Amino acid sequence: MTRPDVDPVAHNREAWDRQVSQDNEWTRPVSSDVIARAREGDWSVVLIGYEPVPRDWFPADLRGLDVLCLASGGGQQGPILAAAGANVTVFDNSPKQLEQDRIVAVRDGLELATVQGDMRELRAFGDGSFDLVFNPVSNLFCPELAPVWRECFRVLRPGATLFAGFMNPDLFVFDREAEERGELAVRHELPYSDLKHMTAEERARLLGDGPLEYSHTLTDQIGGQLAAGFVLTAFAEAPHHASITAKYMPGYYATRALKPRG
């Protein structure tokens, strides 16, 4: 039973704004030292968990590259890539997350654009505007993926790439309360959604004022990119740093996909 009374994107906009005030680790801007090193060519960014993206996923030289950091606010990847020489636009649903990017840009003298919106609608950008879309783990907060991949494909130039990080959907089968006690108990069928699988009372108790999540499926993640026209060129996985499932299974997957020329 879906609940039309809750707009998940509006809910998550406010929830991520609150995560900034609550100092969620994915809202903490990088330091001036990190930016200074990136300016010297010593940089790395994360797409999944704490794993740096393999350097050879990127072009050798970032200078002049038009990069869209998609649903990637928080003053992390965007400012690092800008310091490494890319022309960066950070797009995010949360105004406060984007403010974190602007704080770094002003503090360290970086050129960087920020645009607020829903990752399913990139109408702020024309066709073929970017050489790279960098989308770290965030689509678990978005109710549907097909429009996201379609929009990524549209705003990329032929020959350009999409880096996407996403959750292993299998993590969502487990009972949250049992997991907090250190036990893994299978409870939910997939695909999972906080709105569909929890009552309002359970959401208030277990999620508080946090964001709503969706497991999605690998068909929607990987099949969706292929259906949009992308060709996969690399794949990676990483453990979920904050979950006891890390002992047994990957928590995150990452894809590198190419928009073919012609």
- Binding segment for ligand SAM among 72-80, 167-175, 222-230, 233-241 (CB under 6 A)? 72-80
Q: Which stretch binds ligand SAM (CB under 6 A): 65-73, 154-162, 174-182, 201-209?
A: 65-73
Strand segments, DSSP code E, in the chain are: 46-48, 51-52, 66-70, 87-92, 113-116, 130-135, 156-167, 231-238, 252-258
Would you count residue 89 as binding ligand SAM (CB under 6 A)? Answer: no
| Site membership for ligand SAM, residue 215 (CB under 6 A) | no
Size of interface with ligand SAM, in residues (CB under 6 A):
22
Q: Which of 99, 118, 194, 213 binds ligand SAM (CB under 6 A)?
A: 118
Give the amino acid at 58: F
Candidates 8-16, 52-60, 178-186, 213-221 — which segment interacts with ligand SAM by CB under 6 A? 8-16
C-beta closer to ligand SAM: residue 76 or 215: 76
Distance CA 66, CA 82 (A): 10
- Candidates 87, 89, 94, 193: give the one binding ligand SAM (CB under 6 A): 94
Residue indicated by tokens 């505007």: 129
The yes or no reply on residue 38 touching ligand SAM (CB under 6 A) is: no
Q: How many helices (H) and strands (E) does the chain have?
A: 10, 9
In this structure, which long-range contacts are made by residues 190-195, counting pairs with CB atoms below 8 Å and at least 24 apart in sequence? 190/215, 190/217, 191/215, 191/216, 191/217, 191/220, 193/143, 195/2, 195/3, 195/6, 195/8
Piece of the chain touching ligand SAM by CB under 6 A; list 67-75, 154-162, 166-174, 181-189: 67-75
16 binds ligand SAM (CB under 6 A): yes
Q: Which is nearer to ligand SAM, 130 or 141 (CB)?
A: 141
Residue spans of beta strands (DSSP E) within 32-184: 46-48, 51-52, 66-70, 87-92, 113-116, 130-135, 156-167
Choose one: 58-66, 107-115, 133-141, 243-251; the region binding ligand SAM (CB under 6 A).
133-141
Torsion-angle region of 128 (φ positive above 0: left; ψ -120 to 50: alpha; else: beta): left
The three-state secondary structure class of 259 is coil
Write down the least CB distance from residue 122 to ligand SAM, Å: 10
Task: Return residues touching ligand SAM (CB under 6 A).
Answer: 9, 12, 16, 26, 46, 71-74, 76-77, 92-94, 97, 118-119, 136-138, 141-142
